[in-house]
Amino acid sequence: RTLGRYADYLVVNVSSPNTPGLRDLQKRKVLLDLLLSVRNEVDALPEPRPPLLLKVAPDLNDSECQDIADVSREAKIDGIIVSNTTIARPETLRSAHKAEAGGLSGAPLFEPSTAVLRNLYQRTEGKMTLIGVGGVSSGKDAYEKIRNGASAVQLYSALVYEGTPLVSRIKKELASLLAENGFSSVDEAVGSGVPKPQLRSARRWYFLYLL
């Protein structure tokens, strides 16, 4: 109520693995009640109202993805951020600290978060804005997020290693990949890698957002 009018967009984060019990809020009925309540609060803000998004985990199964898709439509939120960090620990991890509790980000997050992104794009029938997050460190990574349904891409871990010049590099690489594959815009590429019958385009947001 106090800060909403100053926000570019608002996020309901129910997926941080570092807060005990938080992910339980991703369950269908609890999540619907929460989102409807927040939706009412956002609708009461003065114009222009910021978009309302939901941030989900990369560890969702098919049934949970369907619940997220159904609830998001029913609550009439504006988009979904896919995804937060993962509680999984791939065998490829080599650090002595790999068994520590908490969320894992960076390269190991790319495949599971992209799989959930693709799943939600299919289940929302391409009608909802999705933001792809997780393991993005190159234009190729950003392109794969877009092909799997993302209208926008967020960066985090890669910035620790490369800093802000990473953004310019990703934009250049992404522009080249779009041209090489016959796309004249990001809009044309969104969801192009997802098998689908007929999907109506969602409202698109075009930016690389620094978390």
Structure tokens, 174: 């992404």
Residue 16 designated active-site: yes
Which residue is associated with the tokens 């460190």?
137
d(CA 96, CA 51): 41
d(CA 79, CA 72): 8
CB neighbours of 133 closer than 8 A, spacing ≥ 6? 81, 82, 83, 84, 113, 153, 154, 156, 211
Q: Which of 15, 16, 63, 72 is catalytic?
A: 16
108 in Cβ contact with 135 (< 8 Å): yes
Helix (H) or strand (E) holding 152: strand 152-155
Q: Which residues are catalytic?
A: 16
